[in-house]
Amino acid sequence: MRAVIVAIGVAFLVSLFCTPIAIRVFTRLKAGQPIRTDGPQMHQGKKGTPTMGGVVFILATVIAYVAGHLALTTLPDAQIAQVEPTITALVLLGLMVFCGAVGFIDDFLKVRKRHSGGLSARGKLLGQILVGAVFGVIALWFPSTMTDAGGEVTNTETVGSTTLSFIRDIPALDVTKIGAVIIFIFVVMAATNGVNLTDGLDGLATGASVMVLGAYAVIAFWQYRHWCADPSYTANPDNYCYTVRDPLEIALIAGAAAGACVGFLWWNTSPARIFMGDTGALGLGGLIAGMAMSTRTILLLLIIGGLFVIITMSVVIQIISFKTTGKRVFRMSPLQHHFELAGWSEVNIVVRFWIIAGIGVAIALGLFYSDFLANMG
């Protein structure tokens, strides 16, 4: 727990105090956010607000991960804590950094062209597929070699699983390694685009991401405290345990990312001094996809990230309706813009959507804990 708390605190402070520096730097570089001409007219006043702020909280998460590992070296159960960096960290941080890099290219092109159209949809899609494929392969083909004091291998789990999962793996739904990579690519694409579509109002995607990442920190730490690879826990055969890899690493990174987003939210809340841009939205989406895979909660992500799902579906419904009937279901999509045009204030929309995000997280955590109680009973 100490390492996770250290990581959260470091990430929060780095993000809180480095974001103003980023605001000044991006303002000096004239890296202002171009505003869509077909978007809500009230957004035109945001034109020129610095973008690419996701760079700050991605960097803060990586720094906090290092700080958290330094704290791990003081723990008496260092073997169980796995002090050395792991493949799990490589996958999770790699997804965040490289999905963020795809978004950074998009943001850079927008700023350079002074136009809201940056990287083409095909280019962005190919970038997401490539990142998802690379880290999906790493997650499925590199098992753990964790050993006990006697040198015996105690954990041969991979970061990902060949079976679909809800609250844990569902053995009957084995999709093979190739199938698992394909599914993971889809999850990466869905999560990155879901966060990106939600990032339309000041603080909306940032606050929702804090809740989702906080939930994964709780889930991963609970898995660590009830971990099959921990001999002190499995000594009692009646104990229910989780067959995951490096749960403390997952909790540390999820907590660090959540803390970094809170620090960024100080400056990103209405009226925003800086936007996360596609850099931050795609980076967060990639990390959230990795969290779902590594905690073996792929299908539970639909509930944990319920707000992202709702907003994404509003776009899908709008497109299908317009192409099939020529009529729009919403005044504008994504959904938050529908309510803007309906007369809701930006702050009201953000707070109410945060409540929806919180409800999804609460339901998901309730299902997760209920499953634990059922198996313990």
* Positions at the binding site for Mg(2+): 196, 278
Quick count: other Cβ atoms within 10 Å of Cβ 174? 14
The span from the CA of 96 to the CA of 82, in Å, is 22
Q: Strands 163-165 and 169-174: what pairing?
A: antiparallel
CA 314, 315, 316, 320 dihedral sign is positive
Q: Which two tokens stand for residue 290?
A: 């990795």
Backbone dihedral region for residue 277 (phi beyond 0: left; psi -120 to 50: alpha; all else: beta) = left
Distances, alpha carbon 201 to alpha carbons 81, 124, 223, in Å: 39, 22, 34
Cα–Cα distance measured from residue 251 to residue 261, given in angstroms and rounded to the nearest whole number: 15
Positions at the binding site: 196, 278
Residue 130 makes CB contacts below 8 A (sequence gap 6+) with none
Beta-bridge partner residues of 242? 227
- Is residue 329 within 8 A of residue 182, CB to CB? The reply is no
Give the closest residue to 229 by CA, choosing from 156, 140, 138, 159.
Answer: 156
